Every structure is written in structure tokens, then in C-alpha cells.
């Protein structure tokens, strides 16, 4: 249940440095956003693909975090990102992640990034490892 999930108003560490902002989490879904800054641009003056991959990894992982127990933790085992179109400085990107299937030790995830104009920017599919914490 969404009310049971503690979702920080901002991300620590790398997520904070990149500028990721949590929007929602719960019931096997997670939404995260970022506004493309000049510091996110590559030599072609569009957002670096690593920004898209980071945004998707965070949204997909957050979706699974909404389902793990306090005795479990998870991490990305594999993620495949398909880049559909570039994004430019000033554009807000919204990543939606979902759990497709959660097992005991792995979960299958999927998600996409939509920009502030409603355009599909990238999609992702991935596998997450789940384990008991000591």
C-alpha cells in the first residue's frame, strides 16, 4: 500500500547529484522525474543516454522496492534501455517503472520515459536480484 512506503522527498547521493525527484511509489509502480540541465548534455547538445538509463534504473528499482519486505533488499542484475528519441535542455522527463513479475529471488521489470510534450523518449526492461538481509 502506498501509505506504508517511506519515499524520501529527495534522493541521496548519486540521485541527488543528477537531480532526480521522486513523484510516487507503491503497489509495484514508481514514478521519478528529472529536468534536463546543461550539465546533462552530451557533445551533441542533447541529454546523455546515461541520464535516461539512471532515470529508468531508479524508477524500475523503486517499483520493486515498494514490494520487498523489511527483511529483503534488491539490486539491478540487468537492464536494457532502448533509446527512441533525444531530449533537450529544459525538458522534464518522467520515468514510470512497474513490476511485471516478482519471484522469490528475481523480479522482471519494465518502464518508459515520457517527456513534457508527451513524447516517448526511452523504454527499459530489466531483471532485479532479491535477497534476504542479515
- Residue 3, pLDDT > 80, answer no
Query: Model confidence at 8, in pLDDT bands (50, 70, 90)?
Result: low
What's the pTM value of the predicted model, to 2 decimals? 0.92
Cell (9 digits) for 1: 500500500
What does the pLDDT read at residue 7? 60
pLDDT digits (tens, 9 = 90+) for 79-109: 999 999 999 999 999 999 999 999 999 999 9
Cell (9 digits) for 25: 511509489
Taking the C-alpha atoms of residue 98 and residue 63, their distance in angstroms, rounded to an integer, is 5
Which domains does the chain possess?
Answer: 2-132 (3.10.129.10)
Q: Cβ–Cβ contacts within 10 Å for residue 61, how many?
A: 21
- Residue 4, pLDDT > 90, answer no
Residue 48 CB-density burial (10 A; 0-12 exposed, 13-18 middle, 19+ buried): middle
Task: Using alpha carbons only, give the angle 112, 110, 91 rounded to the nearest 5 degrees.
Answer: 15
Enumerate the H helices of 1-134 as residue ranges.
13-18, 49-65
pLDDT digits (tens, 9 = 90+) for 33-73: 999 999 999 999 999 999 999 999 999 999 999 999 999 99
Amino acid at each position: 500500500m502506498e501509505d506504508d512506503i517511506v519515499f524520501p522527498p529527495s534522493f541521496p547521493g548519486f540521485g541527488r547529484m543528477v537531480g532526480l525527484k521522486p513523484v510516487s511509489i507503491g503497489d509495484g509502480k514508481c514514478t521519478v522525474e528529472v529536468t534536463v540541465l546543461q550539465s546533462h548534455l552530451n557533445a551533441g547538445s542533447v541529454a546523455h543516454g546515461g541520464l535516461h538509463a539512471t532515470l529508468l534504473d531508479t524508477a524500475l528499482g523503486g517499483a520493486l522496492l515498494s514490494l520487498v519486505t523489511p527483511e529483503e533488499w534488491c539490486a539491478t542484475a540487468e537492464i536494457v534501455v532502448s533509446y527512441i528519441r533525444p531530449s533537450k535542455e529544459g525538458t522534464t522527463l518522467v520515468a514510470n517503472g512497474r513490476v511485471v513479475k516478482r519471484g522469490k529471488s528475481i523480479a522482471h521489470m519494465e518502464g518508459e520515459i515520457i517527456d513534457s510534450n508527451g513524447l516517448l523518449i526511452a523504454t527499459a526492461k530489466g531483471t532485479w536480484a532479491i535477497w534476504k538481509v542479515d
